[in-house]
Amino acid sequence: RKNAMTIISKMLHMPLKLKWGKKSGRYDLSQDIYVLTVYLGDYAILQCTLTTESTASQCMEYLSQKVDLNQVEMFGLRYQMKTNDPDNRMMRWVELDKPLRRQLEKWACKPRQVQLAVLYHTPNAFTLTDQMARSYYFFLMKLDVVEGKLTVALEKYINLAAYSLQVEYGDFDPTIHTIDFMQTVPLLPKVIEYC
């Protein structure tokens, strides 16, 4: 009995040993588990703990449960590809049926992260019956327009900006919606090409 108490006492005083990574300075819990951050634009919306064999569809299923996104089929995950030219940022869609970690290790630049993006564009926004899907769809489409990824005629830019203001800030109020306020809200791309 005395030996058992001595052993337990020694075990309680032993420090926990962690295997420190040589380059990263972080400890490894397992070679088979990793954490992946999913972004919506510049905002991190979710962190998924995945195994090396987890597929992208499993990540999307987890995402749909955690952020209450019912029409997940309209969206996909993409990542920035490795490139020698930092000005030439190319994005690649994740293949849903393949292990996500292998795809990212092979093709993605560091840090390895994925973005939620609109995979299928719809001509009729009323096909999106899920409120969360409509919100994400609106935000991502607005982001594509403001970043200049989608080009339209100048009149359509102006209409889209007006709709965006109406949806996000409600009816016009001259005490709130001043010129200073309007300059802080990104509505139009920095460079507009005339179509």
Average pLDDT over residues 19-46: 73
Average pLDDT over residues 10-39: 59
This model's pTM is above 0.75: no
Over pLDDT 70: what percentage of the chain?
A: 83
d(CA 12, CA 7): 9
The amino acid occupying position 43 is Y
In the numeric block, the tokens 């200049």 are attached to 148
Average pLDDT over residues 168-192: 82
pLDDT of residue 29: 55
Say if residue 11's pLDDT is above 50.
no
In the numeric block, the tokens 């005490």 are attached to 175
Say if residue 188's pLDDT is above 80.
no
d(CA 108, CA 152): 30
d(CA 148, CA 138): 15
In terms of average pLDDT, the best of 75-79, 89-93, 171-175 is 75-79
Considering only residues 124 and 57, tell me which one the structure prediction assigns the higher pLDDT. 57
* Distance spanning both ends of the chain, measured CA to CA: 87
Q: Domains in the chain, please, with CATH?
A: 33-121 (3.10.20.90)
- Asked if 101 and 34 touch (Cβ cutoff 8 Å), the reply is yes
Which range has the worst mean pLDDT, 112-121, 137-146, 157-166? 157-166
Say if residue 154's pLDDT is above 60.
yes
Over residues 14-24, the pLDDT tens digits come to: 343 444 444 44
pLDDT of residue 118: 93
Dihedral of CA atoms 49, 55, 61, 63 in degrees, nearest 10, equals: 40
